Amino acid sequence: MSMFLPAYPQPDARGRFGRFGGRYVPETLIPALDELEEAYLDAKRDPEFLNELERLLREFVGRPSPLYLAQRLTEHAGGAKIYLKREDLNHTGAHKINNCLAQALLAVRMGKRRVIAETGAGQHGVASATAAALLGLECIVYMGAEDIRRQALNVFRMKLLGAEVREVTSGTATLKDATNEAIRDWVTNVRDTFYILGSVVGPHPYPAMVRDFQAVIGEEVKVQLEAVEGRPAPDAVVACVGGGSNAIGIFAPYAYLPEEERPRLIGTEAAGEGVESGKHAASVAGGRIGVLHGSMMYLLNDDEGQIVAAHSVSAGLDYPGIGPEHCHYSETGVAEYVPVTDAQALEALQLLTRLEGIIPALESAHAIYHAVQLAPELGPDGIIVVNLSGRGDKDVAEVMRLLEQERDAGLLDRDPEQLIAEVLA
Amino acid sequence: MTATLTRGAERLHAAFAGAKAENRAAFIPFMTGGFPSAAGFPAVADALLAHADILEVGIPYSDPLGDGPTIQRASEQALAGGTSTRRTLALIRDLRARHGTPIVVMTYVNPIYAVGPREFMRLAQEAGVDGLILPDLPPDQDLEIADLAAEHGLAVTFLIAPTSTPERVKLVAEACTGFLYAVSVTGVTGTREGSALSEVPAMLVLARQHARVPVAVGFGVKDAATARQVASVADGVVVGSAFIHAVRDGQDVGALAAEIAAGCGR
Ligand SMILES: Cc1ncc(COP(=O)(O)O)c(C=O)c1O
C-alpha cells in the first residue's frame, strides 16, 4: 500500500474549524507558519517524501500496528466486541512517533537542523528525540518540572538519545508551560529552528498537519476491520483526548463520512478528581471558549481569561485545552466527549493488564474505561475500536505509588507488590 | 478604515506630535498592571507618568507567550496579588483621575474574550484607556476586535517583527490606528546584552511605506544609550523590562525614567 496523506474538507483557508482554530501568535511567527504551511502542502504532493515516510513508518516504527480483538476484555464487559488499535506497539511506545517522524522529515526538507519540542508525559519528547537521532538533528525538549518528576524514565530516555531536556518551572510547571516555553524559543530562533508540535493544537497549520500525520491510525483500522468483520467502520471508536492527536488520528477518516455511515466517535477527557471538583483536565465538559497556544478552542480559564491549572493522573492529558477540530466536532455533534476520572482510569489500567496482559498508558486507560461502560449498551452485535495510544511502561512507577496510596488508605484489597509480581510473571 | 479618528487615536497622535515638536521620539514606558502589588502600582505608574509621553500598562496574564522571563514573572506576581483583567482597568481609571497623559493597554486576546469583547471595550473606555496593543492578535485574525475598539473610542496597535514580509508589514501597518509597534528583535520581550537593534532601520523603511500612523520601536531597549539609537530612527521608544528590573531592585524608577526620557532626544 503506497503512502498518501489525506485531504479533508476542514479547516478552511484561514485555518478555522468552524469558529475554532486560527493563528493567535506574535507576528514574528506568521511568516514561519506561512512557510511551514507551504512546505507541508508541497511535501504532501511529493512521492519522494511520502515514500520515505512510508518506509520509516513500516521499517522503523513497525506499522501497520495490529488491530487486536480483546477477547477477555470483551467477555468481561459483556456486550460489543472490543478491538484495540495497538499504537502501544509502535517504536518508542506511543502514537506520537507517527507525527514526530513526519515533522522531522519536513524539518530536514526545509533545511532546519535544530528542532524543539514540548512534552508532558515525555512520549512526544522521546519520539522527537528519537526522530532527531535518526536524522541527525539537534533536539531540545521543554518539559515542566512536575512532569520531569512524574516521568523520570522518559527524561532519561531523551537524554540518552542525545536531546537536551530543559526544565520549565513557570506557571503550573506542566505541559501548558512547556508549550509556552517552546513557543518562546521558536519566536526567538524561528529562522533556523523547526518546532515539532506534539498534538492537534497550536496555530494553523499544526492542527491540520498533525491530524494528517496521525490519520494513518484510522486509515489502517478501516482496512483491518474490513478484513476481519467485513465492514470498515465499527459502531463506536473510543480514544483519549489531551490535545487530541491520537483521537483525531483514529476519528478523522470517519468524521467526514455521511452521518449514516459514521460510527459514534467518542473522546474521553481526563476528569481528574471529577469535573465538579475543579481538579480536572476536561476542556469540553468543564471549559469555555478561549485562546491558548495560538488557537481558539475550549479551554479551562476563569472569567478574567487566566488559564486554570489542569489536573490529571496522566501527564499526557494534563492540558487545559483541546484541539480546535475536536471543538468543532463537539459543537456540531460529529463526536462526543465524555469525562473519565483518575480513579476510573487507574481501575481500567489494572483491568486491561490482568485480562489481556497489556499494560496501557494511563492516558489510554481513560479510553479503555469508557469502552467497557459502552459495550453493554451496544450489545453483542456491536463493535468498538479503542485506540490504545500508548504502553504503560512510563507509568508503572507512578501507578505503584498511587496503588500504595490506595492500599494505605485501605481502598485496595490487594498488595501492589503482588499486582506487579503477577504482571511480570 | 474610517477617515475619522477615534478619541484615543487623536490623543495618541497628539502625544507623538508633541514629542516631535520638541525634536524627540515619544517616550513610552511599560509597566505590568498590579506590579509589584496592587497597592504599590500607582506610585510606580506616577513615577513613569512624570516623564512619559504615553504610558503602556500590561494586563497580567498567566500565559504571556510573547514575553521573556522578566515580564512573565512580573505577571505572575501581579496575579498572585489579585490583579488581573478588571482590576488592571480599575487601576488605570484611578491613574486617569490624576493624569492627562495617554494610556494604552497591552493585553493578550484571551482576557478580552473571557470578559467579552464588548464588555472589555466598555470597561476600557470607562477607565479612560486610549488604545490597545495586542501582541498575539495578528490583525487578520479577528476583524471585529478593531471595530469594537473603534466604536469605544480606542485606537489599536498591532506589531511587526524583523521576520515580517513586505506583504505582512503592509497588512499590519494599515490596520493600526494608534501607532505601529515594530519589534526590534526576533524574540520575546526583555533586555539584552549588547546592542541587538541592527535590524531596526531596514524594518522602519518598510513600515513607513505603509503606516499612516507613528511608528514606535520596542523590545530590548534598556537604557538611555539604546533609547538614543532607536530615537534617531523611530517616532517612539518603548521600554519595559528595564523598569520591572528597577522596581525589583528597589532602584529609583523616576530617575531611570528621566534618564531614558532624556535619551529619547535627537
Ligand atoms: C500514550 C499517550 N496517549 C495520549 C496522549 C495525549 O496526546 P493526544 O491527546 O494528543 O493524543 C499522550 C501524550 O503524551 C500519550 O503519551
> pLDDT tens across A315-341, in order?
999 999 999 999 999 999 999 999 999
pLDDT, tens digit, 9 for 90 and up, residues B180-198: 999 999 999 987 766 568 8
**Contact B183/A191, CB-based, under 8 Å?**
no
pLDDT, tens digit, 9 for 90 and up, residues A301-319: 999 999 999 999 999 999 9
What pLDDT shows up at residue A195? 98
Query: For residue A157, how far is its CA from the centre of ligand 1 (angstroms)?
Result: 17
Selecting from A25, A304, A306 the residue whose C-beta is nearest the C-beta of B136 gives A25
pLDDT, tens digit, 9 for 90 and up, residues B31-76: 999 999 999 999 999 999 999 999 999 999 999 999 999 999 999 9
In the block, cell 512547556 appears at A178
What pLDDT shows up at residue A4? 82
Average pLDDT, chain B: 95
What is the rounded distance in angstroms from the CA atom of residue A159 to the CA atom of residue A126?
9
What is the number of the ligand 1 atom nearest to the C-alpha of A124?
A: 14
CA proximity to A127, closest of A175, A60, A72: A60
Peptide bond into A64 cis (omega under 30): yes
What pLDDT shows up at residue B195? 57
Count Cβ atoms within 10 A of the Cβ of residue B230 and give its class: 0-12 exposed, 13-18 middle, 19 or more buried.
buried
CATH superfamily of B7-263: Aldolase class I (3.20.20.70)
Query: For residue A317, how far is its CA from the centre of ligand 1 (angstroms)?
Result: 6
CATH number for the domain running over A16-62+96-206: 3.40.50.1100
Q: Does B206 touch chain A (CB under 8 A)?
A: no
For chain A, positions 114-173, list CB contacts with chain B under 8 A: 170-171
A176 is catalytic: no
Question: Average pLDDT for residues A186-196, to the nearest whole number?
Answer: 96
What is the rounded distance in angstroms from the CA atom of residue A341 to the CA atom of residue A351?
15
- Using 50, 70 and 90 to split pLDDT, how confident is the model at B103? very high
| Contacts with B68 from chain A: Cβ below 8 Å | 184
What pLDDT shows up at residue B139? 97
Percentage of residues in chain A having pLDDT higher than 70: 96
- Residue A94, ligand 1, Cβ within 6 A: yes
Domain positions in chain A:
16-62+96-206, 67-91+216-406
Q: Does B115 touch chain A (CB under 8 A)?
A: yes
Q: Which fold has domain A67-91+216-406?
A: Rossmann fold (3.40.50)
What's the gap in Å between the CA of B258 and the closest CA on chain A? 30
- Residue A124, ligand 1, Cβ within 6 A: yes
Count Cβ atoms within 10 A of the Cβ of residue B173 and give its class: 0-12 exposed, 13-18 middle, 19 or more buried.
buried
- A16-62+96-206 with A67-91+216-406: one CATH topology? yes
| Contacts with B61 from chain A: Cβ below 8 Å | 305-306
Question: Average pLDDT for residues A39-59, to the nearest whole number?
Answer: 97
What pLDDT shows up at residue A412? 56
What pLDDT shows up at residue A419? 61
Contacts of A48 (CB under 8 A, 6+ apart): none
- Residue A389, ligand 1, Cβ within 6 A: yes
Catalytic residue among A81, A85, A96, A176: A96
Contacts of B180 (CB under 8 A, 6+ apart): B157, B158, B160, B172, B173, B207, B211, B213, B214, B215, B216
B126 is catalytic: no
Contacts of A336 (CB under 8 A, 6+ apart): A264, A265, A266, A267, A330
What pLDDT shows up at residue B1? 46
* Single-letter amino acid code for the residue at A36: L
A389 is catalytic: yes
Q: Please check whether residue A118 is in contact with residue A128, taking contact to mean a CB–CB distance below 8 angstroms.
A: no
Grid coordinates of A331: 459543537
- Is residue B97 predicted with pLDDT exceeding 90? yes
What pLDDT shows up at residue B2? 47
What is the rounded distance in angstroms from the CA atom of residue B100 to the CA atom of residue B67?
28
Buried b (16+ CB within 10 A) or exposed e, A272-295: beebeeebbbbbbebbebbbbbbb
- Residue A240, ligand 1, Cβ within 6 A: yes
- Is residue A21 predicted with pLDDT exceeding 60? yes
B148: helix, coil or strand?
helix
pLDDT, tens digit, 9 for 90 and up, residues B148-170: 999 999 999 999 999 999 999 99
What pLDDT shows up at residue A424? 57
What pLDDT shows up at residue A407? 77
Supply the ipTM of this predicted assembly.
0.96
Grid coordinates of B28: 513610552
Question: Which of the listed residues A363, A393, A395 should we mutate to test ligand 1's pocket, taking the one with most ligand atoms within 8 A of CB?
Answer: A363
**Contact B65/A24, CB-based, under 8 Å?**
no
User: Which residue of chain B is at minimal alpha-carbon distance from A26?
Assistant: B136
Average pLDDT, chain A: 95
Q: Does B135 touch chain A (CB under 8 A)?
A: yes
Catalytic residue among A52, A87, A112, A118: A118
Domain positions in chain B:
7-263
- Is residue A2 predicted with pLDDT exceeding 90? no
Q: Does B86 touch chain A (CB under 8 A)?
A: yes
| Contacts with B188 from chain A: Cβ below 8 Å | 184, 187-188
| Contacts with B67 from chain A: Cβ below 8 Å | 184
